[in-house]
Homo-oligomer: A and B are copies of this chain.
Amino acid sequence: MDKTEALRRLAAAHVGYLATAGPHIVPFVFVVEGRRILSMVDTKPKSTTELKRIRNIRTDPLVSVLVDHYESNWSRLWWVRVDGTARVVDEDFDHIAALLRAKYPQYADVDLTGPAIIVDIERIVGWESAPTVP
């Protein structure tokens, strides 16, 4: 899969998996703008206010993000992985909130209080299974 297609599939995906140092892994929702992945902590119940993903990024900014398609037909699998550098943004995230609300109508009923996480995409790679020859 070429990098343009990989970036397209990443941007179209509705859920991704964010791995931070530890390793620690969480599902998250996000938008892609240019070469950046933007997400925000919302007010869905969490175990702590200062989430572990936030603490991890403040300590070690290297992250990996995955989106994938799985089904029982293994000739139709694909995934896209990003290696990148993340930072936590504590203010001026109205722009990110607007992009998230445009992609996810579910956010209409959710406060987006931040902080935001911005991942600069440094490497993107996609894989898909070879289609079965009919």
Interface residues of chain A, those whose CB is within 8 Å of chain B, are 14-15, 17, 19-27, 44-45, 62-66, 68, 70, 72, 74, 77, 79, 81, 83, 106, 110, 129-130
Bound complex: CA of A26 vs CA of B68, how far in Å? Answer: 9
- Point out the residues of chain B lying under 8 angstroms from A25, CB to CB: 17, 19, 23, 25, 64-66, 81
Cross-chain contact A23 with B19 (CB below 8 angstroms): yes
Partner of A23, one of B23, B70, B110: B23
Partner of A70, one of B14, B26, B110: B14
Smallest CB–CB gap between A129 and chain B, Å? 7
Given contacts A44-B129, A74-B106, A106-B74, contact A26 B66 (CB under 8 A): yes
Cβ-closest chain B residue relative to A23: B19
Partner of A27, one of B19, B20, B27, B79: B79
- Point out the residues of chain B lying under 8 angstroms from A17, CB to CB: 17, 19, 25, 66, 68
Smallest CB–CB gap between A106 and chain B, Å? 5
User: Would you mind naming 26 contact pairs between A and B with Cβ atoms under 8 Å apart?
Assistant: A14-B70, A17-B17, A17-B19, A17-B25, A17-B66, A17-B68, A19-B23, A19-B64, A21-B23, A22-B23, A22-B83, A23-B24, A23-B25, A23-B62, A23-B64, A24-B64, A25-B64, A25-B65, A26-B81, A27-B66, A27-B68, A27-B79, A44-B129, A72-B106, A74-B106, A74-B110
